[in-house]
A and B are shown apart, each in its own frame.
Chain A
């Protein structure tokens, strides 16, 4: 039976003034032209994690790319539909911008990764489900390594409508986000953590995620996402909302917390408005 290790995590945060992620240092203008904004962010973050982990990306034939997005190309669709109604013309790159599989495909092309490749779209559960799919790919011996990338860029009325449909929390600010995580069957040097369990399911009405995961916690608020620390039996909530990238941000936070404190194991979870949940248990690897 394979063991699955988290080798690195990179998160991109928006600039406080502009509210946008700066991708200019990582992408060429010609790379950006054919891609929607959220795919640009995914590609930029993939290049960054590739730069930091060149050894991981050897033997691209056995490396899978799984991408995740909550909103997809909502902004491009609304803009291009308006343009079409006005001019009767569609950009030749419209299709490549709105197909969400391009989020994963462009990374494979840029980094020459030839393993299984697709985009997971399950609202706030997207990145959690993509990490779980990556875990399953390695566990089933179908791939040796997996790059999981998530990103979103959406605002305005449509973003709010989509967000409200997915998420139980009333969060107003959900601009840009991007994150990447490497999964490997080999621990090697520098593994951050090991995934020891995955769970997916649907909660009954009023059922607590903690009851379903058989964990005892004082405060039993589900929320849309969270981190539960096994040893200290603490729940970290009030984390910033990062739409489709939520779980990768939460895994990073959980690992940092465990390394700063004495916790060894934590669980990250996300729950959609329809009570569909995904959860991952991670054992920290000491520094």
Chain B
């Protein structure tokens, strides 16, 4: 048995806004939301300034669990479902790479403190949310760093498609803005020291670290509440692969990333020519951008639009896959591709058409790609629901 799988509810909190509409509006307006963060390093407390993407959250100590739950509540509300009513077999899957690093930094050094484990371990948070929102089937956490939430969406999609569950709550979450979080990524040499990112530009300068969360409600076709189908997007393909190359650098040829795109196209049963737009991982690091462009060239030998939204949101690590999936859905809904900010001199300008400005155009099929430290790649293919009967 093979079910069709639809996204029926969306929720998100990012530096661009506290809900889906606010995020989309900020993305299209292209105003910079990054704020300065002063980091004092070493015994001499040498000051180094970075820019970060912060969310507005009053509860710093419970930020991680609050971000996850708030996004989930938005998505549940958007889908029109009532968790207390029977949703059939309902699962909850979280994609996350690290917990609340500020909380860990402040509390794990005190060996006698009572830890709030839902701030440290996503699986504890998953168990708590599952209990509160009447999940009755599978509860799991997938960690594949920056591709975590894409793999979580992919897992939920496969479970519904293969009739193992009827409904899934998928959450992507990361909250690593802290001195130790910034210092750790700074030590890897991947952070931008400017107030902006320049994905796919020859002057790419690294990424800006951000925090945030996203949530999706996935349902099989016959479980969708009446009147909600018009706003739905269908997930038609998912592929995952590993570069098997290096723990922090991507395979420069892009073969690993191309493999996940190839698997997603095969799963969707479509040719690459049918993809109208690629929402790229586009972190703004030289290694990622070049590898990603090469990967797209291996799969797409015809003209296709591509852009990265990270220049606006910053890098939300484990949450970026779900946030960018939501942007992909909104691109189809509004027939608008968000351009890549600060893209003046593209690293390449072949048939993969990197957009620097927003483009109004009808979209039917969108691919979303995320790639991770460790070489873990995930590709999702989304299709606009055109009103055909299901």
Which A residues are within 8 Å of any B CB, using their own CB? 34, 60-61, 65, 72, 77-78, 80-82, 84-85, 87-92, 94-96, 98-102, 104-106, 108-109, 111-123, 129, 133, 136, 139-140, 142, 156-158, 161-162, 165, 200-202, 272, 274, 276
User: Complex: how many Å from CA A157 to CA B115?
Assistant: 10
Among B141, B183, B242, max chain A CB count under 10 A is at B242
Assuming A81-B180, A101-B374, A118-B151, is B259 touching A61 (CB within 8 A)? yes
> In the bound complex, do residue A116 and residue B184 qualify as a contact, i.e. CB atoms below 8 Å apart?
no
Pick from B142, B144, B183: contact of A84, CB below 8 A.
B183
> In the bound complex, do residue B140 and residue A89 qualify as a contact, i.e. CB atoms below 8 Å apart?
no
User: Residue B337 at the A interface, CB < 8 A?
Assistant: no
Q: What distance in Å separates the Cβ of B77 from its nearest Cβ neighbour in chain A?
A: 24
Binds A, one of B199-207, B226-234, B244-252, B271-279: B244-252
> In the bound complex, do residue B148 and residue A84 qualify as a contact, i.e. CB atoms below 8 Å apart?
no
User: Residue B375 at the A interface, CB < 8 A?
Assistant: yes
Q: What distance in Å separates the Cβ of B374 from its nearest Cβ neighbour in chain A?
A: 3
User: Residue B381 at the A interface, CB < 8 A?
Assistant: no
> In the bound complex, do residue B184 and residue A88 qualify as a contact, i.e. CB atoms below 8 Å apart?
no
A contact residues around B122 at 8 Å (CB) = 121
B contact residues around A105 at 8 Å (CB) = 242, 247, 373-376
Assuming A162-B121, A202-B135, is B241 touching A117 (CB within 8 A)? yes
Apart from A120-B142, A121-B143, 8 more pairs, CB < 8 Å: A60-B244, A95-B184, A101-B145, A101-B374, A116-B242, A117-B242, A201-B136, A276-B139
User: Complex: how many Å from CA A112 to CA B247?
Assistant: 13
Pick from B112, B123, B187: contact of A92, CB below 8 A.
B187
In the complex, what residue of chain A is closest to B118 when comparing beta carbons?
Answer: A165
> In the bound complex, do residue A117 and residue B140 qualify as a contact, i.e. CB atoms below 8 Å apart?
no
Q: What distance in Å separates the Cβ of A163 from its nearest Cβ neighbour in chain B?
A: 11
Q: What distance in Å separates the Cβ of B44 from its nearest Cβ neighbour in chain A?
A: 8
> In the bound complex, do residue A108 and residue B375 qualify as a contact, i.e. CB atoms below 8 Å apart?
yes
Interface residues on B, range: 35 or more
Q: What distance in Å separates the Cβ of B335 from its nearest Cβ neighbour in chain A?
A: 32
Assuming A95-B373, A101-B373, is B109 touching A119 (CB within 8 A)? no
B contact residues around A88 at 8 Å (CB) = 40-43, 45, 183
User: Residue B131 at the A interface, CB < 8 A?
Assistant: yes
A contact residues around B117 at 8 Å (CB) = 161-162, 165
User: Complex: how many Å from CA A119 to CA B187?
Assistant: 24
In the complex, what residue of chain A is closest to B251 when comparing beta carbons?
Answer: A114
Binds A, one of B66-74, B97-105, B283-291: B97-105
User: Complex: how many Å from CA A84 to CA B178?
Assistant: 12
User: Complex: how many Å from CA A100 to CA B112?
Assistant: 25
User: Complex: how many Å from CA A78 to CA B180?
Assistant: 12
Among B147, B180, B259, max chain A CB count under 10 A is at B180
A contact residues around B28 at 8 Å (CB) = none
Q: What distance in Å separates the Cβ of A131 from its nearest Cβ neighbour in chain B?
A: 13
User: Residue B52 at the A interface, CB < 8 A?
Assistant: no
Number of A-B residue pairs, CB cutoff 8 Å, is 186
Assuming A101-B144, A118-B142, is B162 touching A136 (CB within 8 A)? yes
Pick from B109, B130, B248: contact of A78, CB below 8 A.
B109
In the complex, what residue of chain A is closest to B126 when comparing beta carbons?
Answer: A122
A contact residues around B109 at 8 Å (CB) = 78, 81-82, 85
Which B residues are within 8 Å of any A CB, using their own CB? 40-43, 45, 97-98, 104-105, 108-109, 111-112, 115, 117, 121-124, 126-127, 130-131, 135-145, 147-148, 151, 155, 158-159, 162, 164, 179-180, 183-185, 187-188, 240-248, 256, 259, 263, 267, 372-376
In the complex, what residue of chain B is closest to A157 when comparing beta carbons?
Answer: B111
B contact residues around A95 at 8 Å (CB) = 184-185, 187-188, 248, 373
> In the bound complex, do residue A201 and residue B131 qualify as a contact, i.e. CB atoms below 8 Å apart?
no
User: Complex: how many Å from CA A265 to CA B155?
Assistant: 29
Assuming A61-B259, A85-B109, A121-B141, is B241 touching A106 (CB within 8 A)? no
In the complex, what residue of chain A is closest to B185 when comparing beta carbons?
Answer: A95
Among A60, A102, A136, max chain B CB count under 10 A is at A102
Q: What distance in Å separates the Cβ of A153 from its nearest Cβ neighbour in chain B?
A: 16
Q: What distance in Å separates the Cβ of A212 from its nearest Cβ neighbour in chain B?
A: 12
> In the bound complex, do residue B247 and residue A274 qualify as a contact, i.e. CB atoms below 8 Å apart?
no
User: Complex: how many Å from CA A85 to CA B183?
Assistant: 12
User: Complex: how many Å from CA A156 to CA B104?
Assistant: 16
Assuming A82-B109, A118-B376, is B188 touching A99 (CB within 8 A)? no
Q: What distance in Å separates the Cβ of B324 from its nearest Cβ neighbour in chain A?
A: 18
User: Complex: how many Å from CA A133 to CA B179?
Assistant: 36
In the complex, what residue of chain A is closest to B96 when comparing beta carbons?
Answer: A121
User: Complex: how many Å from CA A9 to CA B89?
Assistant: 32
Assuming A81-B108, A99-B145, is B376 touching A109 (CB within 8 A)? no
> In the bound complex, do residue B144 and residue A118 qualify as a contact, i.e. CB atoms below 8 Å apart?
yes
> In the bound complex, do residue A100 and residue B143 qualify as a contact, i.e. CB atoms below 8 Å apart?
yes
A contact residues around B137 at 8 Å (CB) = 200-202
> In the bound complex, do residue B184 and residue A113 qualify as a contact, i.e. CB atoms below 8 Å apart?
no
Q: What distance in Å separates the Cβ of A260 from its nearest Cβ neighbour in chain B?
A: 34
B contact residues around A157 at 8 Å (CB) = 111-112
In the complex, what residue of chain B is closest to A92 when comparing beta carbons?
Answer: B187
B contact residues around A114 at 8 Å (CB) = 241-244, 256, 259
A contact residues around B263 at 8 Å (CB) = 142
User: Complex: how many Å from CA A157 to CA B109?
Assistant: 11
> In the bound complex, do residue B184 and residue A81 qualify as a contact, i.e. CB atoms below 8 Å apart?
no
Among B141, B143, B246, max chain A CB count under 10 A is at B143
Q: What distance in Å separates the Cβ of B120 from its nearest Cβ neighbour in chain A?
A: 8
> In the bound complex, do residue B130 and residue A117 qualify as a contact, i.e. CB atoms below 8 Å apart?
no
> In the bound complex, do residue A161 and residue B115 qualify as a contact, i.e. CB atoms below 8 Å apart?
yes
A contact residues around B180 at 8 Å (CB) = 80-81, 84, 90
A contact residues around B245 at 8 Å (CB) = 109
User: Complex: how many Å from CA A114 to CA B155?
Assistant: 18
> In the bound complex, do residue A90 and residue B183 qualify as a contact, i.e. CB atoms below 8 Å apart?
yes
CB-CB nearest 3 A-B residue pairs: A105-B374, A117-B242, A116-B240
Q: What distance in Å separates the Cβ of B269 from its nearest Cβ neighbour in chain A?
A: 13
User: Complex: how many Å from CA A61 to CA B147?
Assistant: 19
Interface pairs (11), CB distance under 8 Å: A88-B183, A95-B184, A96-B373, A108-B242, A114-B244, A118-B240, A122-B140, A122-B141, A157-B111, A200-B138, A201-B137
